[in-house]
Amino acid sequence: MLNANNANVGSSSRQINKLEEYSKLVVSRKKCRLCLGLSNPSCSQLAKYDSNHIGPWSQWQGNIDSDILLVGQDWGDISYYTKWEGMDQPSGNPTNENLQQLLYSIGIKIGKPQERQEQVLFFTNLILCLKQGGLQSQIRKEWLINCSRHFFYPLVEIIDPKIIIALGRNVFESILELYGSPNNKHERFSDIVEHGPVKLNKSLFLFPVYHCGARGVNINRPITIQREDWSKITKWL
């Protein structure tokens, strides 16, 4: 289901098994209809744009052997999905362009979403299906819970990364809840980010960072300070 152009995989039995488990998880995602108010990319009117990845964002960077798993909240809405035929727009999306800058600042260079490029990371969203009402429309807590339990947790088990980078507070707190880690909801997110990673288990660390979309850099955390936040990750690479 996944080929060498989509993920850097070798011939070892472990890597073959990862491919098989990932393919099974993708099939499960395609069949899932748990969340009311969301549309699965595999449903009839959208299926022609669906991929053999866990979600649309993984088409950009989908290396299942990556040490780094980068996680966003949700990918977008139905209108954006159909306009760009199941992929991110080639350029001009503030989140993606800022993300490229931030990754480059820690020594990781990736191409634009639709360019042919080496797959060095794995990108995913916690919410894998599509909402309606625009990219900024509200999400529901149960969507985060359902997708985290049924798809994100097994995805982490398959990839076995060293670090998870969580874009934004919702993503960070959802992952903490998933792993049963303590969470001080009254602490300022800026302090959480500055305190650095949280150890989820003996070999996995969770890095909270601000979302790097237009609102994130213009209102919540300027891109210059976000670069400083990301610089902490280099010590763990």
β 204-209/163-167 pair status: parallel
Report the sign of the C-alpha dihedral through residues 29, 135, 47, 71, in that order: negative
> Kind and range of the H or E element at 165?
strand 163-167
Mutual angle of helices 94-105 and 223-231, in 10-degree steps: 40
Longest Cα–Cα distance in the chain: 48
Burial class of residue 112, CB neighbours in 10 A (0-12, 13-18, 19+) = middle
pLDDT of residue 76: 87
d(CA 22, CA 189): 33
Q: What is the pLDDT along the chain (237 residues), one digit of tens a residue?
A: 333 344 443 445 667 799 999 999 999 999 999 999 999 999 988 999 999 999 999 999 999 999 999 999 999 899 999 999 999 999 999 999 999 999 999 999 999 999 999 999 999 999 999 999 877 788 899 999 999 999 999 999 999 999 999 999 999 999 999 999 988 888 999 999 999 899 999 999 999 999 999 989 999 999 999 999 999 999 887
pLDDT of residue 3: 38
d(CA 164, CA 66): 11
Whole-model pTM: value is 0.91
Burial class of residue 191, CB neighbours in 10 A (0-12, 13-18, 19+) = exposed
Domains of the chain: 13-236 (3.40.470.10)
pLDDT of residue 12: 58
pLDDT of residue 105: 96
Residues with Cβ < 8 Å from 202, sequence gap 6 or more?
none
